[in-house]
Amino acid sequence: MARNVPDMLFWRFVQAMGASPGFSVGGGVIGDIYPIERRGTAMGIYFAACLLGSALAPFVSGVISSYTSWRFMQVTLAGTGLLGFLLIALFYPETMHPGTRGIEKWRQKHGYGDERFTFVWLNPLRVVALLKSPNLLSVSVASFTILLCEYREFFVLLNTHCIS
């Protein structure tokens, strides 16, 4: 549907909004279904596969764009995204075990029943304290550097078209 580069960048942004939960939801599902002894291996394989896809995407899209247009690739991405959404919505089982979520544990600890709506202040920045660990800090910096270098070209392209 994009007629020019800014339109395409807008729709790519929309596409990224739909694709970005894959990392965290996939990690959460792995945390739900694997025992703690095997969880690290499963997470490593999962994230390696995700990052391998991002690493191979420029090569594959370059080959495809040699024989078709970039519009065809975007329509293909939209179709596969819709197909994936439908398959997940229809066939993906719930992996969360009742009583294991943090909010449920908090309610039990503080004497709240099964109330549907209870306001609880959860600090999303609390996980930043985990970076005190040298192991977690080094892995986080390495992952950040890989993703920064891999997606730098997108920001250069965006900057070039916004200036001109």
Q: Are the CB atoms for 95 and 29 separated by under 8 Å?
A: yes
pLDDT in tens, 95-152: 666 666 666 777 777 776 665 666 667 777 888 888 898 888 888 888 788 777 766 6
The count of C-alpha atoms lying within 13 angstroms of the C-alpha of 17, restricted to the half-sphere facing its C-beta, is 6
* Contacts of 6 by beta carbon, 8 Å cutoff, 6+ apart: 161
Instruction: Return the domain boundaries, the chain.
Output: 5-94
Q: Are the CB atoms for 82 and 15 separated by under 8 Å?
A: no
In angstroms, the CA 32 to CA 25 distance is 10
For the whole prediction, is pTM greater than 0.75?
Answer: no
